[in-house]
Amino acid sequence: MAPRTTASAAVERPFDALSRNQLLELFYYARLTRDVEERLAILYRQNKVVGGLYRSLGQEGESVAAAYALARRDAVAPLIRNLGAILTRGVRPRDLFAQYMAKASSPTRGRDLNTHFSHIPPPDSDEPVIIGPISMLGDLVPVIAGVTLGARMQRHPRVGLTFVGDGATSTGSFHEGMNLAAVLKLPVVVVAEDNKFAYSTPVPMQMAIDRIDRRAEAYGIPHEMVDGNDMPAVYDAVKRAADRARAGGGPSLVGVDTMRMRGHAEHDDMRYVPRELLEQWKARDPIDRYRRWLLDHDVAREHEIDDIAKMTARHAAEEAQLAGESPLPDPAKAARGVCAEDAWMEPRLELVKSPFA
Amino acid sequence: MATLTYLEAIRSAMAEEMARDERVFVLGEDVGAYGGAFKATEGLLGRFGAERVIDTPISETAIIGAAVGAAYLGMRPIAEMQFIDFIACCFNIVTNFAAKSRYRWGAGVPMVVRGPCGGGVGGGPFHSGNPEAYFAHTAGLKIVEPATPHDAKGLLKAAIRDDDPVLFLEHKYLYRRLKEDLPEDDYIVPIGKAIVRREGSDASVVTFGAMVHVALEAATRLEEDGLDIEVLDLRTLAPLDRRAILESVARTSRALVLHEASRTGGIGGEIAACIAEEGFEYLDAPVTRLASLDTPVPYSPPLERAFMPDADKVVDAIRRLVRY
């Protein structure tokens, strides 16, 4: 293996500090995200997914790179299209498959959809906090602010990362949460995804500013805009923001320029998206680009990268099989667990490490 | 024994719980240096510091969102709504994020949302609300509303210790009008338990909050008619103490359901349905509701008096009920 060429010391990039294993692990998670979703798309066509399937095709890179920039014990609050962030934090694909297939074995025992589940280890645990979304977007911003507030009071601080789409930056919850985090100087990083459409609504119908990261100017917090399909660039921006948050510098907003390559959900034929826009962004696919980057920088050879892709495809297939074989929930339990006196399930999520850890 | 007002009882409950459990903290608008619009949190900042008594921007959704996030990690936030009417601004995050969490994935949200409710003080349409019915319809929330200083303290302590989100409704008319000798020891009033405030045999008034005192006044006046009226103070509105309601109706065979919120869609409908479904054979008369008009809460005193139930209206309603 040829040694990785290092950039000159003049520009300090956090990304340059990553080991070869870490660089490959980033590829592993991005590739795994796509393979899990491809497998979900098959299950969807087979009518095995209950309800809709919401793809992150074309945006996997930013979710993975942003989550990868966190310390292990940091908190993350992903959205529906941040499957990559969830996998990067160590959630097993079988749990995601079970969620989409509404199985009794799923983290929510079939009570809620897709990425709507959480993981809350004890305060001093090194495991990450994961807070799943609800469908009312924007709400995760104040909630992740509260997670970091609570962790700070417990003397076991955690940086909190959440994501917000261009559409959800129009909500009051987004504004209230950003403003509170700024006023209380909470260690929050918000990745604001400009993925060009909120369902069918284009970004210019969502905001009268030219760059999504400028939303942050109202809160007096640092912000920058990066190419969301450039995984090293996203990693750098989020790492800098997380380091600043950890050091007491308060929240930041990182805008990512990316493209939702499928419809809002799989039922949506996205006739409102110009074909040339899709072509243009297909050429900027984040996983292809990162693969090229690994090759160009002599991190790995083609066959080694192909081996990783084979590994993730096989892993996704096996995990989907496992989830598919598990039973649906027992309807006799439908009324259980509304309140503490009838506590019925404990949050349950087993996190795993990648082969590169 | 210390003699405390209803408001002081609330303050004392928060101070005691903050002293015994470092996970408990307060957040809201003007709760710190100013001590809260009604002074419920006065003195807490000096005693517990700015980390545990947090002044926030005017952002009800951010207040509840931050409380939910901290509660997930095991903290016990007490979020103040300056007036409970403003909970409308964060209806979504209360009903969708906080309330549904335990059912969705098993994590409780041990959070108290407290604030002043109720009319009779010339507060007008936006400072007089009684929003219990909006929230009683949401699975996963508990709702309490004390009628006395003793219960205000004991129920708030129980709410803070509860593992679910509790909506704690404080009737602002009672804040400084009631005083009571409270035990020095650490007591709680359990959530979900009603109490008979006055025993009687001719009719039951099922009520809560400030209306308990209106019902008691009416019951005293009806002694002249030779009527012996029972007053049941629900104290908790979710979950309802159905057993206490049915036991009272079994004793009296007549029920007047009394509340200060508007009548249509009010929680009185649920109580009446409970009696009709499970206590039909006890009844000698139809279950009757007495509540406020189906209008916003009007401002001017004569209008507000026309809007709300008072002892005269309760006396009339009970006389009709026993004549049936």
| Amino acid (1-letter code) at residue A249 | G
Let me know if residue B189 belongs to a domain.
Answer: no
**Cα B167 to the center of its chain, rounded Å:** 8
In whole angstroms, give the CA distance from residue B199 to residue B180.
21
**Cα A321 to the center of its chain, rounded Å:** 23
Of A54, A119, A60, the C-alpha closest to A89 is A119
Let me know if residue A335 belongs to a domain.
Answer: no
User: Does B61 contact A at CB distance below 8 Å?
Assistant: yes
pLDDT, chain A, mean: 95
Residue numbers in B near A344 (CB within 8 A): 106
Contact criterion met (CB below 8 Å) for B148 and B6: yes
Give the chain B residue nearest A129 (alpha carbons).
Answer: B73
In whole angstroms, give the CA distance from residue A90 to residue B168.
39
Q: Answer yes or no: do B35 and B154 share one domain.
A: yes
Let me know if residue A11 belongs to a domain.
Answer: no
Q: Which residue has the tokens 């009417």?
A: B85
Tell me which of B155, B182, B209 is where a domain ends. B182
DSSP bridge partners of B171: B117
Here the CATH number for the domain that contains residue A132 is: 3.40.50.970
The first and second tokens of residue B207, run together, are 């009520």
Q: Answer yes or no: do B134 and B272 share one domain.
A: no
- The mean pLDDT value for A184-209 works out to 97
Tell me which of B147, B182, B217 is where a domain ends. B182
Range of the structural domain that residue B133 is part of: 2-182
In whole angstroms, give the CA distance from residue B229 to residue A141.
52
How many angstroms away from the CA of A168 is the closest CA of chain B? 15
Predicted confidence (pLDDT) at residue A114 exceeds the cutoff of 90: yes
Let me know if residue B9 belongs to a domain.
Answer: yes
In whole angstroms, give the CA distance from residue B278 to residue B39.
43
Residue A345 is predicted with a pLDDT of 83
Inter-chain contact B70–A146, Cβ cutoff 8 Å?
Answer: yes
Residue numbers in B near A153 (CB within 8 A): 25, 51-52, 70, 75
In whole angstroms, give the CA distance from residue A262 to residue A283.
15
**ipTM of the predicted structure?**
0.96
pLDDT, tens digit (0-9, with 9 covering 90-100), for B71-107: 999 999 999 999 999 999 999 999 999 999 999 999 8
The first and second tokens of residue A127, run together, are 């495991």
What percent of chain A clears pLDDT 70, i.e. is strictly above it?
97
In whole angstroms, give the CA distance from residue A187 to residue A248.
7
Q: Answer yes or no: do B170 and B211 share one domain.
A: no
> What is the number of domains present in chain B?
2
Range of the structural domain that residue A42 is part of: 19-326
> What is the number of domains present in chain A?
1
Confidence of residue B152 (pLDDT cuts 50, 70, 90): very high
Contact criterion met (CB below 8 Å) for B257 and B242: no
Let me know if residue A280 belongs to a domain.
Answer: yes
Q: Answer yes or no: do B171 and B215 share one domain.
A: no
Let me know if residue B81 belongs to a domain.
Answer: yes
In whole angstroms, give the CA distance from residue A169 to residue A190.
11
Residue A7 is predicted with a pLDDT of 46
Q: Answer yes or no: do B106 and B227 share one domain.
A: no
Of A92, A88, A110, A91, the C-alpha closest to A101 is A110
- Exposed/middle/buried for A1, CB within 10 Å: 0-12, 13-18, 19+? exposed
- The mean pLDDT value for B200-224 works out to 98
Q: Answer yes or no: do B171 and B27 share one domain.
A: yes
pLDDT, chain B, mean: 98
Let me know if residue A155 belongs to a domain.
Answer: yes
| Amino acid (1-letter code) at residue B235 | R
Q: Answer yes or no: do B60 and B14 share one domain.
A: yes
3-state percent helix, strand, coil for chain B, nearest multiple of 5: 40, 20, 40
The first and second tokens of residue A215, run together, are 């939303």
Let me know if residue A117 belongs to a domain.
Answer: yes
Let me know if residue A220 belongs to a domain.
Answer: yes
> What is the number of helices (H) and of strands (E) in chain A?
10, 8
Residue A10 is predicted with a pLDDT of 53
Q: Answer yes or no: do B237 and B105 share one domain.
A: no
Inter-chain contact B61–A184, Cβ cutoff 8 Å?
Answer: no
Q: Answer yes or no: do B113 and B253 share one domain.
A: no
The first and second tokens of residue A115, run together, are 């990425």
Predicted confidence (pLDDT) at residue A1 exceeds the cutoff of 60: no
Predicted confidence (pLDDT) at residue A34 exceeds the cutoff of 70: yes
Per the omega criterion (within 30 degrees of 0), is the bond before A122 cis? no
Let me know if residue B212 belongs to a domain.
Answer: yes
pTM equals 0.96
**Cα B251 to the center of its chain, rounded Å:** 25
pLDDT, tens digit (0-9, with 9 covering 90-100), for B167-202: 999 999 999 999 999 999 999 999 999 999 999 999
H or E element in which residue A282 lies: helix A275-282
Q: Classify B3 as helix, strand or coil.
A: strand
Angle of helix A286-296 versus helix A231-246 axis, rounded to 10: 90
The first and second tokens of residue B291, run together, are 């509540």
Inter-chain contact B71–A150, Cβ cutoff 8 Å?
Answer: yes
Tell me which of B151, B182, B213 is where a domain ends. B182
User: Does B64 contact A at CB distance below 8 Å?
Assistant: yes
